[in-house]
Structure 1
Amino acid sequence: MSEPDAPVRPIAAGLARYAGLAGAVLLAAAGWLGGARPDTPPRATPAAIWQAPYGPLALGCWLVGTLLLVGAWWSLRWGAPSTRWAYLTAGLWALPLLVAPPVGSRDVYSYACQGWTWTQGLSPYRVGVAGAGCPWTGSVSPIWRDTPAPYGPFFVLLAGLAVLAGGGLLGTVVLLRLVAVAGVLLVAFCLPGLARAAGVPARRAAWLVLACPLVGTHLVAGAHNDAFALGLVLLGLLVLVRRPGTAGALVAAGVLLGLAVAVKALAAVVLPFAALAAVPGRHTWRALLRDGGRLAGAVLGTLLVASLATGLGLGWVAGLGHSGDSQQWTSPPTALGLVVDYAGELAGSRPSAVPVTRAVALVLLAVVVVALWWRAWTRLLRGDDTPPGDRPSPVGTALLGAGLALAATVLLSPVFHPWYATWPLTLLAVAAVPLAREVWFVAPCALASVLTLPDGTNLARFTKAPGAVLMSVLVLVLAVVGVRAGLRRRAAR
């Protein structure tokens, strides 16, 4: 393996480019052969896709395509030959997936039905898509047919406009995919500026984010609204970086970040760290309250306008609780609760530990996010008293804190889906993370890429017991390693 700072050999880069392209073509083929098409209802078990017409061929294309795409991305994780090369390669990989049916998830049909519900004068926060009478309910995964929408009012508005302009399910899905692609393009536009501000090579950040298999498979082909929310978050952060402290930039960034939250609530985790990036010059509490207050005011104002303009109010906040209706071992707190429940059943009792472990994890998450913010703030305060050459980058510090907070949120949330990993990946890729530590957020994305099948079947739903045990063991091992490392650092002081 070459050294991290060594130039990438043209032969290796060429092999990676065309191996990834072959993988993307195979994934698109799997989508046409056995993807989450609207004319194929959700399948109850993973075996059902094998028994479907062209099932073995679809699964073969999916497996080989995923391995090729993940391998090509992983081989250049230290950085592409150039930023331009990374953009061209990522775009080349996205082309086959752009014209493929939805793959890896059926969520886009939930979006369409929620938008349809809103166009009928009903609130998707009060009634499920089946109860609303959506004509496309058969394409929605059964678990989400009777649950309220967990997305913000701005996204419901976008979904409703897609329904009105699409003229049917196919047109609606196409428009929703274009919204997701617009989000990916926003991310691509913002990456170089944020990376330069944080002192990170743009070629590395662009490759890690845009060429990630989760982006092509789930954000582009799957048309997940995470793409648009992420694009708005990065654009808001870029505005703050380009013109820190100015009233216009604070308002514009607040509007963009507010719209991101009004698409997906996960974006709210970034807000406290965005306030750090908003402070120019010396970091004082007065400056933080002044600039952070303006930013927060714009965010809250945007959320209020979006809620009132759509007539949906704040009902979407209550809908967030239903995102955890599905119990999967990919969420560490859920896995721990499942193991306790399995152990209780062996002992003849039913402890129902999952709600308890999830609640404890949410409390722990709040503590972790506050601690990460405080750590970033105190680092900036100490940096103000050091020589200019030794001062930490405010942008890099804020991005690193936001990325770690998103990673904690994804890990400690009641449910985890593979595309959730794109959030911490994007922020950490533009933060000043040492190369040796990138494996901690790159490897999980590679593993998450193999958790779904082309028709939207989530393998975690059908491997609960073994998956929960393995995840629990992993959590305990990492906890022990972390405690021992902390004790060694304390002893070294």
Structure 2
Amino acid sequence: MSEPDAVPDGPVRPVAAALARYAGLAGAVLLTVGGWLGGALPDAPVTTSLGGLWRAPHGPGVLGCWLAGTVLLVGAWWSLRWGAPSARWAYLTAGLWLLPLLGAPPLGSRDVYSYVCQGWSWTQGVSPYQVGVAAAGCPWTDTVSPIWRDTPAPYGPFFVLLAGLAVLAGGGLAGAIVLLRVIAVAGLLLAALCLPGLARAVGVPTRRAAWLALACPLVGVHLVAGAHNDAVGLGLVLFGLLVLVRKPGKPRALVVAGVSLGLAVAVKAVAVVVLPFAVLAAVLGRYTWRALLRDGGWLAGAVLATLLVVSLVTGLRLGWVEGLAHSGDSQQWTSPPTAVGFVVDYAGVLLGREPHAVPVLRVAALVLLVVLLVALWWRGWTALRGLNDVRQRVVRIAAARPRVALVGAGLALAATVLLAPVFHPWYAIWPLALLAVATRSPARTVWFVAPSAVASVLALPDGTNLARFTKAPGAILMTALVVAVAVGAALRAAGSRRAT
């Protein structure tokens, strides 16, 4: 992976790099040990309190391994946030950290058991979008978290197909989990192959983009050990964007990119917010409405055709869209709108009322999200159109196209993750990967790297989310952060207006 960015922006001392590499490896080993002592094993009871986990047979060992392993892994990743010594070093180190986690039991959540049961339901001719896995009669229902046993699947038909194939080929629960982990690793490898091309197109050092996107503890713990379907969806998104960045305006390339992006949406619906910015990357030449309709039409047609074919082939049609409505059944302060709703409810109780603000603020957040997505797309569109009449138009448009599209897609994913009704730690990987390849300034990476580091400590090995035990203080802290960000944004906007 030789490239011109092998020399870091700032010198990385060999001793510091070696220390980070092996500290992270030790952390991954400790997390794997903690997983076998008390991870999300099939017969492990669901934790209802931290005290209950501590009193479990291996409770102190589990918590000790989790704490030490997480601190080492997050600290090692954070220490090289400005970039690894080289791209090759970043890839090798990220792979080294993943090796022990490949042999760990499911970590950080029990979602993989939901995947297996949903895939089993489909193989039995039962739509996982119509009934929960308990009603479908899945033989492994007891392994699924209670909150999701009676909930329809919120995932797309392509992933249900993959889960069903894993069940058929695996021959049982353990075999299906192994195959789902193989599928997740394949998605991660696809993402890893796409990172250098995307980073070079924007002018970002691959050694930094690869380190931030692949060595993040969320990747090893949740995408690999947890076998989350986000790995497949993210790999397909990055591949589709890479095709568009390399060959905009070419009908065959647009169809290939559309199929990849359509499959990504058919894995997880969050990928849909990337599509408008993918259209910006698809246009070749001057940015006009006619060119947008021409090139964007090829891309949109391929996406829609892919979704239609997958829905028909699996026999699931569009029932998966209805399942998305249940993804917000969980209420945790890690979702900013939910946290603000909690605080409003707390204040209402003090005043003798129960405002039930959480549903209202969740709807308001979704409305705000739509506004932000439209604003982000319009800003990218106008920026590219503004290059139509400048000198060296072709050169400047070719240089700006990938940066505008990738930054827009990354910000859109960040807004979606932050304003969604529910937030789980692995959701942060989506904007992290896009922004890692699109952010030129190392200093500007902190705003999305720091939250990813915090998210890495939220889930215990058995899938227990620490947010469950910190509802009130977490909600107050998150609300204070939301207020601070809103005030800061208002002050900057006022300053900009005064300057003009």
Task: Please indicate the TM-score interval, normalised by the length of the shorter structure.
Answer: over 0.9
Q: Deviations over 1:178-212 (max 9, x none)?
A: 11111110110000001111111111100000000
2:478 is aligned with 1:471: yes
1:162 match: secondary structure: helix
Aligned counterpart for 1:447 among listed residues 454, 473, 482: 454
CA contact (8 A) 1:86 1:203 kept: yes
1:34 maps to amino acid: G
**Hey, what does 2:425 align to over in structure 1?**
418
Q: How does 1:336-351 map to 2 (within 5 A)?
A: 336-351=340-355
Q: Distance in 2 between the 1:43 and 1:331 partners? A: 21
Unaligned runs of 5+ in 2: 1-6
Structure 1 residue 4 displacement after superposition: 7.4
Structure 1 residue 39 displacement after superposition: 2.1
1:349 match: secondary structure: coil
2:438 match: secondary structure: coil
CA contact (8 A) 1:254 1:295 kept: yes
Structure 1 residue 492 displacement after superposition: 1.9
Q: How does 1:76-87 map to 2 (within 5 A)?
A: 76-87=80-91
1:269 maps to amino acid: V
Structure 1 residue 240 displacement after superposition: 1.1
1:179 match: secondary structure: helix
Identity over aligned pairs, percent: 74
Q: RMSD of the TM alignment (CA)?
A: 1.2
**Hey, what does 2:333 align to over in structure 1?**
329
Unaligned runs of 5+ in 1: none
Aligned counterpart for 1:208 among listed residues 196, 201, 212: 212
2:365 maps to amino acid: A
1:185 maps to amino acid: L
Q: Deviations over 1:229-269 (max 9, x none)?
A: 00000011111122111111011110000000000000001
Structure 1 residue 44 displacement after superposition: 2.0
Q: Deviations over 1:376-408 (max 9, x none)?
A: 011111123233476552001100000001000
CA contact (8 A) 2:8 2:86 kept: no
1:260 maps to amino acid: A
Structure 1 residue 291 displacement after superposition: 0.5
Q: How does 1:259-338 map to 2 (within 5 A)?
A: 259-338=263-342
Structure 1 residue 489 displacement after superposition: 2.0
Q: How does 1:64-83 map to 2 (within 5 A)?
A: 64-83=68-87
**Hey, what does 1:194 align to over in structure 2?**
198
2:478 match: secondary structure: helix
2:438 is aligned with 1:431: yes
Q: How does 1:219-258 map to 2 (within 5 A)?
A: 219-258=223-262
2:195 match: secondary structure: helix
CA contact (8 A) 1:103 1:221 kept: yes
**Hey, what does 1:383 align to over in structure 2?**
387
- Report the TM-score when normalising by structure 2: 0.97
Q: How does 1:98-247 map to 2 (within 5 A)?
A: 98-247=102-251
- Report the TM-score when normalising by structure 1: 0.98
In structure 2, the CA distance between the partners of 1:310 and 1:433, relative to structure 1 (3 Å rule), is same
**Hey, what does 2:20 align to over in structure 1?**
16
Q: Deviations over 1:343-367 (max 9, x none)?
A: 1222222211111000000000000
**Hey, what does 2:416 align to over in structure 1?**
409
1:270 maps to amino acid: V
Matched length = 491
**Hey, what does 1:372 align to over in structure 2?**
376
Moved more, 46-55 or 266-275: 46-55
CA contact (8 A) 1:4 1:435 kept: no
**Hey, what does 1:489 align to over in structure 2?**
496
Q: Distance in 2 between the 1:277 and 1:320 partners? A: 28
Q: Distance in 2 between the 1:89 and 1:471 partners? A: 33
**Hey, what does 1:393 align to over in structure 2?**
400
